[in-house]
């Protein structure tokens, strides 16, 4: 149908412009508008017009220098927040690696779950927040075996981050997932706004 043809054409155009169809931009607030945050606000736009005098689209060089982004998390940059999240991930991976190691020593089956370190880490993962205080809580545990396990966790997560984890793959995966998500969001938006029931 004509509507289907138009939809496919719009999707093709959206693919050509890549990630520019939908993106977050920082722009100054209009003087007539009430103040928002620290004098800036974030908005989503689809095929935005460059005629908007308040629109500011930071280029890649500005973003690399930490400019053009008004978002912060209690004074922390997005990169800092991402780094903290990565440390929490590495801590979790270290705990699971130690638990898997204990399970590997189990030749009888089932006894690994009774190991004090395996049991302690399992309980800690289930009951404690995975944040910057997690390892410190292990290091101050009443059980001396858990205090020893905390030292092991720090060693394992450092080795994993430095020698095993593929940092380049994270960027590639993030960009790929974001590109696919943007295309999917745009496609669904066009389907909702352009597609009409066939009358043939």
Which DSSP string do the residues of the chain spell out, in sequence order? -HHHHHHHHHHHHHHHTGGGSEEEEEEEPPTTSPP-TTTEEEEEEES--TT-TT-----HHHHHTT-S----BTTB-HHHHHHHHHHHHHHHHHHHHHHHHHHHT-SSSSGGGGSHHHHHHHHHHHHS--STTHHHHHHT-SSHHHHHHHHHHHHHHHHIIIII--HHHHHHHHHHHHHHHHHHHHHHHHHHHT------
Report which of residues 192 and 17 the model is more confident about.
192
For residues 33 and 113, which has the higher predicted lDDT (pLDDT)? 113
Confidence band, pLDDT 50/70/90 cuts, at residue 114: confident
Provide mean pLDDT across the span 123-139.
Answer: 95
In terms of pTM, does the model score above 0.85? no
* pLDDT mean over 173-186: 96
What pLDDT shows up at residue 18? 43
Given a cut of 60, whether residue 56 has pLDDT beyond it is no
Question: Quick check: 34 pLDDT over 50?
Answer: no
Contact call for residues 91 and 157 (beta carbons, < 8 A):
yes
Helix axes 144-159, 78-104, angle to 10 degrees: 120
Range picked from 37-41, 52-56, 126-130, 188-192 for highest mean pLDDT: 126-130
**Greater model confidence, 187 or 6:** 187
């Amino acid at each position: 149908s004509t509507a289907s043809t138009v939809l496919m054409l719009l999707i093709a155009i959206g693919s050509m412009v890549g990630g520019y169809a939908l993106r977050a931009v920082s722009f100054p607030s209009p003087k007539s508008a009430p103040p928002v945050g620290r004098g800036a606000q974030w908005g989503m736009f689809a095929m935005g017009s460059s005629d908007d005098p308040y629109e500011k689209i930071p280029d890649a060089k500005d973003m690399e220098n930490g400019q053009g982004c008004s978002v912060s998390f209690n004074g922390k940059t997005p990169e800092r927040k991402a780094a903290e999240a990565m440390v929490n991930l590495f801590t979790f991976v270290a705990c699971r690696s130690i638990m898997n190691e204990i399970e590997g020593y189990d030749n009888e089956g089932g006894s690994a779950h009774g190991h004090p370190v395996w049991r302690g880490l399992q309980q800690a993962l289930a009951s404690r927040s995975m944040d910057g205080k997690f390892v410190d809580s292990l290091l101050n545990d009443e059980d001396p075996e858990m205090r020893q396990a905390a030292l092991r966790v720090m060693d394992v997560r450092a080795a994993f981050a430095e020698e095993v984890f593929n940092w380049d793959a994270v960027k590639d995966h993030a960009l790929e997932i974001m590109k696919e998500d943007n295309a999917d969001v745009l496609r669904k938006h066009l389907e909702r706004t352009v597609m009409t029931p066939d009358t043939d």
